[in-house]
Structures are given as C-alpha cells and as structure tokens.
Structure 1
Amino acid sequence: MLKHAILLSTLLLLTGCALKQYPQSPKVSDEEAQTYNCATLDQEIAKTHSVQQQIDKTGEFDALTVIGFLGDFGIGNGIAKASANKHAATRLSELEQLKTVGCNHPTA
C-alpha cells in the first residue's frame, strides 16, 4: 500500500510541471544588433510575431490543459506561457528599437 501511495505521489508531482512546450525567444545579442540590416530586422520581427502566434496556439485548451490543471491547477503551464510571452515581447521590442534607430532615414 505504501508503494502505491509513493507512486501516486510521484506521478502527481511530475504532472505538476508544465506539460506544454512553448517556443522561447532569446534576447537580441550584441552580434545580432551589429549585423542586422533593415531587411533582416523585418524578417526577425515577422519571425517573432510568428512565435507569438505559436504561443497563443499552444496555449489553447486541450488534453494537456486538463492534465496540467489536475496536477497543479494549471500553474505550471501558466507560468511557462507567461515566460514565453515575456521573452517574445522583449525580443520584439528590442528588434523594433533597432529598426527605429537604424532604418528610419530622414528624407529632407
């Protein structure tokens, strides 16, 4: 009986982790910031928007949502999604700032 209780407790603890895998966006490195041109920045911004869409799609209600809720009330999946959204928003902000600084040439 004790083995069953330990096994059940272990399984519940393991299901308490985030079950969904959200894409992670790294910060813009110094090397990237120095080598990106305007066209590359546009591509990277589009990729980051795509990552944000993937995060939203992964976050949709499905069987993993139910299992995550049973394990830890969905906290693990919620934390993973919030972290992924934060990283994507940070990267997007950095890319847009680089584009504003390096690609807006006055036409006067």
Structure 2
Amino acid sequence: MNMKLWMAVFSTFLLAACATKQYPQAPLVSAEESAVFDCQAINVEIAKTRSIQAEIERTGEFDGKTVLGALGDFGIGNGIAKTEARQKASDRLTQLRALEAAKCSG
C-alpha cells in the first residue's frame, strides 16, 4: 500500500508542469498605447522591453529554483514559462518597432 501511494505522488509530480520561477511578462501594445505614444514614449517602452528581456535571461540562470523545477517536473514548467515570457517580450518589441517606423520616420 505504501508503494502505491509513493507511485501516485511521484506520478502527480511528473505530470504537473509547474514553474517555480516567476518570469516578467511584457503585454502586447494596446490600441490606446499606440494611439498616444509619441517617439520619446516609444523609445522609453523599447528600453523597458529590452530590460524585461534581460531580466528574463537573469531569471533563467541556474539557481535553487532550477533544481526544484528539475525535481518536480524535469524543468518542463520553467522551460515553458521562460519560452512564453521571451515570446511575449519579442512580440511587444516587434510591435514597438513597427510603431516607431510608422510614427518616427522622417
């Protein structure tokens, strides 16, 4: 009976992809933001998004939470969270660059 309990607990940990790290999130540029941003605000937002990207990479460095994530679900949850955070930041930066090209060229 004790072995079945341990197997159930172990299986639960294997199937649960939980991130132990909290990655910063960059929201997409809203319609309101794109309407009111001027060139200076766009440049500030680009700098903030680059800062978020750097923070994502710092958060992804090996530490104790990496070990816990590997023990819990082989690091799958942390990997998924990092990939999603990177994609969101990249998408926001792409939007800001397009907005910059539209409003600040000339």
* TM-score bin, normalised by smaller chain: 0.7 to 0.9
Is the CA contact 2:15–2:73 (under 8 Å) kept in the aligned structure 1? no
Q: Percent identity?
A: 48
Q: Post-superposition shift, 1:72? A: 1.1
Instruction: Give the TM-score normalised by structure 2.
Output: 0.87
List alignment gaps of at least 5 residues for structure 2.
Answer: none
Amino acid at match of 1:59: G
Q: Runs of 4 or more off by more than 2 Å in structure 1?
A: 4-16
Q: 1:73 to 1:13 in 2, by over 3 A?
A: closer
Q: Tell me the secondary structure at the aligned position of residue 20 of structure 1.
A: coil
Q: RMSD of aligned C-alpha atoms?
A: 2.1
Q: 1:53 to 1:80 in 2, by over 3 A?
A: same
Instruction: Give the TM-score normalised by structure 1.
Output: 0.86
List alignment gaps of at least 5 residues for structure 1.
Answer: none
User: Is the counterpart of residue 96 in structure 1 residue 91 in structure 2?
Assistant: no
Count of aligned pairs between the two proteins: 105
